[in-house]
Chain A
Amino acid sequence: MSVPHALLALLSEGPKYGLRLQNEFESRTGEVWPLNVGQVYTTLQRLDRDGLVETDDEEGERSQKRYRITSAGGRELADWLRTPPGLVPPPRDELVIKVLVALQVPGTDVHEILQVHRRHVIETMQRYTQVKAAAAEDDVALALVADAELFRLEAIVRWLDAADVRLKQQPPPTPAAVADLTLEAIDPMEVPQ
């Protein structure tokens, strides 16, 4: 989560004080991302230094500063919204590594390992679904946050399901081939562009 860009987005609606920015940040992310007020002020100072926000000349009540977004800040925000997040290179997926390693360990039922992880992922999904079920119907932000996690977790379940079928249909790879793959997965690898 990019806190600087989230603050720029909130300021794009109009000038605001730091404390209000903190409240709005939390409520709009469905209160899933707690943010302390110190983080808000250090981020605002950095944005100010980089010319992306500026403060009013006169100080408001209780000498709080009121921040507004600059035109450079507006451009930065627009660019960020359109920049794809880093999808490649893939994260070093601990789960993939565990399954690859399981193939090498004598006496290990890899299907049982897959099921342990499937159950764990689905239990986590149940918790996110409970968040959604308990949320107010108009809390779109919270539903979006929960959906994002649920789709990510569902993808893991689908991978586990596919692995199950693949390993049932085909003989497991030889230990040597698995060892190579595992090393590749563990070592930072070059991703062909």
Chain B
Amino acid sequence: MTSALELRQVSKNYGSGPTEVRALRDVDLSVERGELVAIMGPSGSGKSTLLTIAGSLEQATSGQVLVNGVDLASVSRQDQAKMRRRSIGYVFQDFNLLPGLTAIENVTMPLELDGIRTKAARATGLEAMEQLDVADRADRYPDELSGGERQRTAIARAIVGKRGLLLADEPTGALDSVNGEAVMRLLRAATKRGVAGVVVTHEAQLASWADRVVFLRDGQVVDQTVAPPGPESLLAAGDRR
């Protein structure tokens, strides 16, 4: 089965000559549907670059990026933009809802850009909003929504339609830990419904919601977690102090 996202030997350089910065070096990474992967690493380790390249917002200097098995470099720029709209959803730190549009208009914008008629787009948008329990807020403007409702709307926009890949860069921003956890629960629930998720974070607690944590350092994947053995192992009497 093809992975939702596959990076093969991806490198990214900025600048050239003596000022050249190697932001990513020969990164290999695959993410499957149903899997949530967290990318951790210190500032400047290449986390955000990896995400923008995975989302085809930037081109890799070398290597291949495959989304649902399609090599992004093999399609025209126009088709790339279409692929991006149809298969990749983004969640940003500050959620980036457009204030002049209602919640449902925000959610359906990527569909309408794709030429889907308003009525059909609305039905699809409502489906996504229902999954996140905010369908009843569909016709409100962002400033009429609570912080939690804005988060949910932003995630609904990222998964609307048949998107298979969800990318999030520090999606919990300045939220306190309990609300940050709520965002991670929603992302995790979205991936359990069959989406592949990649979250960039520097916070270990948020990363611990992922099925797999990949560690970046100086643009290279240096390590990753192995599947945890399950919570019951913590409850064994011998493990308690």
Asked if B234 is at the interface of the complex by the 8 Å CB criterion, the answer is yes
Q: Count contacts on B: residues with CB < 8 A to the other chain.
A: 29
B215 and A115 within 8 A (CB): yes
Given contacts A115-B215, A129-B209, contact A123 B226 (CB under 8 A): yes
The answer to whether B240 and A150 touch across the interface, beta carbons within 8 angstroms, is no
B228 adjacent to A164 (CB under 8 Å) = no
Take A127-B233, A134-B231 as given contacts and tell me if A150 and B208 are in contact as well, using a CB distance cutoff of 8 Å.
yes
- Residues facing A in B195-240 (CB within 8 A) are 203-205, 207-210, 213, 215, 217, 222-226, 228-231, 233-235, 237, 240
- The size bracket of the interface on A is 20 to 34
A74 to B171: give the CA distance in the assembly, Å.
Answer: 46
Q: Pick out which of these stretches binds chain B: A28-36, A79-87, A170-178, A179-187.
A: A28-36
Docked CA distance A191–B105 (Å): 61
Chain B CB count within 10 A is highest, among A32, A34, A129, for: A129
User: Does B148 touch A at the CB level, under 8 Å?
Assistant: no
The distance from the CB of A162 to the nearest CB of chain B, in whole angstroms, is 10
- Please name the residue on chain A nearest to B225 by beta carbon: A123
Scoring B residues 151 to 173 as 1 if CB is less than 8 Å from chain A, else 0, what string do you get?
Answer: 00000000000000000000000
By CB atoms of chain A within 10 A, which of B188, B204, B229 has the most? B204
Other-chain contact of A131, B213, B226, B234 (Cβ < 8 Å): B234
Specify which chain B residues have a CB less than 8 angstroms from the CB of A130 in the assembled complex.
228, 230-231
> A118–B215 contact, CB under 8 A?
yes
Contact B234 A127 (CB under 8 A): yes
Chosen A-B contacts, 23 in total, with CB atoms closer than 8 Å, are A115-B215, A118-B215, A118-B223, A119-B215, A119-B224, A119-B225, A122-B204, A122-B207, A122-B213, A123-B225, A123-B226, A125-B204, A125-B205, A126-B228, A127-B234, A129-B209, A130-B228, A133-B185, A133-B188, A133-B209, A150-B205, A150-B208, A154-B203
Beyond A115-B222, A122-B204, A127-B234, list 15 extra A-B contacts (CB 8 Å): A111-B217, A115-B223, A119-B215, A122-B207, A122-B208, A123-B226, A123-B228, A126-B225, A129-B208, A130-B228, A130-B230, A132-B181, A134-B231, A158-B204, A165-B42
